[in-house]
Structure 1
Amino acid sequence: MRAEEDSRAERAVSRDPRRLVGIALMCVAPILFASLDATGKRLAAEGVDPLLTTFMRYAVNVALVTAFLNPVTRPGVARSRRLSLQVVRSLLLFGSTACNFLALRSLQLAETVSIQFAAPLAVALLAGPLLGEWSSRLRLAAVAAGFVGVLVIVRPDTLAAQPAMLFSLGNMLCYALYVIVTRKLAAHDSSATTIFYTGLAGLALMAPLLPWIWSAPDSWQVWGMLVAVGLFGTAGHWLLVLAHAQAPASLLAPLIYTQILWSVLFGYGLFGDVPGAWTLVGALVIVASGLVLIAEDAVARRRTARREDGKAGSSEQP
């Protein structure tokens, strides 16, 4: 009887139109993120300083966020219980973005995004000592395999020929720590407060450097691309938030890996870049490892839910 009820509940959930909306939004977000990277690479080719691109990324983001989330329209939004952590989180995201734009000057889109997708593996590894979320043997095996995929891409000979790989690794590490700090903040501050502070520290850090990195764009096209990096990044993260409000994370998480496909297509169509065999092999290993983590996490959540349901059912019996 219980199995039939669970089966009917699962079928009802699978027909929920909100899940389809969430999937659609999650399919668009990676396109925006790939567009962000492609625009950053194009700006580097136009001679724009990657740090200026980083500044514009956050200037546009902060302007858009502040228009909707500010102490006037949302009283108390700037009040943080862990302000120091908010600053650290914002700086980590700034470091991730700056490293990514610096790497894109000489690396292919497929290379940078493949290394970036090792961040969930680093999170799984660091979550134990930093958050107390220790991984199972299966998760540790997936993490180890994923880092082998990174080594396939960042081989010693490739690193010697392309030192910019170090920037891509820095991007991955900063983003992994950013995710961990975000998890810690979830227990102290609201999501609105965290979003409000997301770009502020990076913008504050870059503003004093602006006189040394500023170079007036020589065309409206370059101006448009500088604004676009902020629009693509802000819109992409906004769609992620909307998608997760419509569908469970376990359903949406695998779709983020479609960004690799879009990066390959944009890299070939816009820059004539053809990913090497080692890059493709490494990317496949990283994606496979990430999918194992997602599947294992979904199984663990279902087990926890069943245990809680069982305890609730036993407590209701006379």
Structure 2
Amino acid sequence: MNAPAAHHPIRGILYLMGALALFALLDTVSKTLASRHPVAVVVWGRYFAHFVITLLVFFPRYGTGLFKSARPGLQVMRGLTLVGVTAGVIAGFQRMPLAEVTALVFVTPFLVMILAVSFLDEKMPRWRWIPVFIGFSGVLLIARPSGNAFNIGVVFVLLGAVCYAIYQVLTRKLSAVDRSVTQLSWTALVGAAATSLLLPKYWVPGAFDLVDGLLMGSLGVLAASGHLLMIMALRAAPATTLSPFTYAQLVWATLLGWLVFGDLPDGLSLTGMGIIVASGVVVAYSERFSRKA
């Protein structure tokens, strides 16, 4: 008989804050590299480093069983959607400030709701659609499609958010049949394999100096460390407790965007970011209470 799961909400929140800080730092390094190198090369570096770290950490323990999956086809699809997330976000970083890209990615919970209703036959009370529509109004304030501030980066980031929503839905389905470490390993394998196919087209010999090489290697370390802290957070506290705090990543992104790139969102963008966060918190708490009901 399994022991009951531990419940240490404060510890879980602290782990989560660390994970979000690492993810924001990962985005900062990605944006720095994307300003000097093609998106495809940066995405490859992120997944290749992640794959190497995954093998070093988990292969000695699990061997080839690390990749044993009940649904390998879905694992490949899930891995490709995460590559789409990374590519869309990094392409956005080339054209937009860090904080605004991060805010746009936070429309993902709204998209997950739409996909869950459409493809997983989950039931949703009508009133819960209200914060979804309000949240998308925040997106319009950031994107401003009728104004001069709009750029193609918004499209790339929103496409990445759609991929992220599909990735989360597939993760829900696969969590019932595969271990977390298997999902993590397949993500790294598919990402490294898919981007390696594109690498010869975009790689420029001698383009990386020592500093950029170290930054490229740090992508996998930051990603793996952040995911490890996220797993520790979810072991210490339920997802419904942690989810409202995930928006702290926006604070980290705003701070790092200001310190590293000198970017600060304008008034309309800050308003849009606030609307997205408020709507997302409402969705998170409504999910928490609906599960208790």
TM-score for the superposition, normalised by structure 2: 0.93
Give the structure, 1 or 2, with the largest relative contact order (CA under 8 Å, sep 6 or more).
Answer: 2
SS state of the match for residue 67, structure 1?
helix
C-alpha distance in 1, partners of 2:148/2:249?
Answer: 24
Aligned residue in 2 for 1:34: 24
Selected match of 1:166 from 119, 137, 155: 155
Selected match of 2:55 from 63, 66, 78: 66
Q: Which moved more, 1:209-218 or 1:101-110?
A: 209-218
TM-score for the superposition, normalised by structure 1: 0.86
C-alpha distance in 1, partners of 2:61/2:241?
Answer: 37
After superposition, the Cα gap between the structure-2 partners of 1:89 and 1:218, relative to the gap in structure 1 and judged at 3 Å, is closer
Can you give the 5+ residue segments of structure 1 that lack an aligned partner in the other structure?
A: 1-12, 304-318
C-alpha distance in 2, partners of 1:290/1:129?
Answer: 20
Contact 1:81 1:189 in 2 (8 A): yes
Which residue type is aligned with residue 85 of structure 2? S
After superposition, the Cα gap between the structure-2 partners of 1:227 and 1:140, relative to the gap in structure 1 and judged at 3 Å, is same
C-alpha distance in 2, partners of 1:121/1:72?
Answer: 38
Selected match of 2:191 from 202, 207, 218: 202
Contact 1:81 1:188 in 2 (8 A): yes
The percent of aligned pairs where both chains have the same amino acid is: 34
Selected match of 1:257 from 247, 250, 264: 247
Aligned residue in 1 for 2:226: 236
Q: Which runs of 4+ in 1 moved over 4 A?
A: 158-161
Aligned residue in 1 for 2:174: 185
Q: What does 1:75-114 correspond to in 2, within 5 Å?
A: 76-114=65-103
Can you give the 5+ residue segments of structure 2 that lack an aligned partner in the other structure?
A: none
C-alpha distance in 1, partners of 2:11/2:193?
Answer: 36
Aligned residue in 2 for 1:308: none
Which residue type is aligned with residue 144 of structure 1? F
Contact 2:48 2:191 in 1 (8 A): no
Which residue type is aligned with residue 209 of structure 2? S
State the number of aligned residues: 288
Quote the offset at 1:31 in angstroms: 0.8
Question: 1:137 aligned to 2:126?
Answer: yes
C-alpha distance in 2, partners of 1:61/1:22?
Answer: 24
Quote the offset at 1:157 in angstroms: 3.3
C-alpha distance in 2, partners of 1:77/1:139?
Answer: 39
Task: Work out which of the two has the higher radius of gyration on C-alpha atoms and give 1 or 2.
Answer: 1
Contact 2:20 2:226 in 1 (8 A): yes
1:4-53 per-residue CA deviation (whole Å, 9 max, x = no partner) reads xxxxxxxxx9xx883322111111111111111111111122x1112111
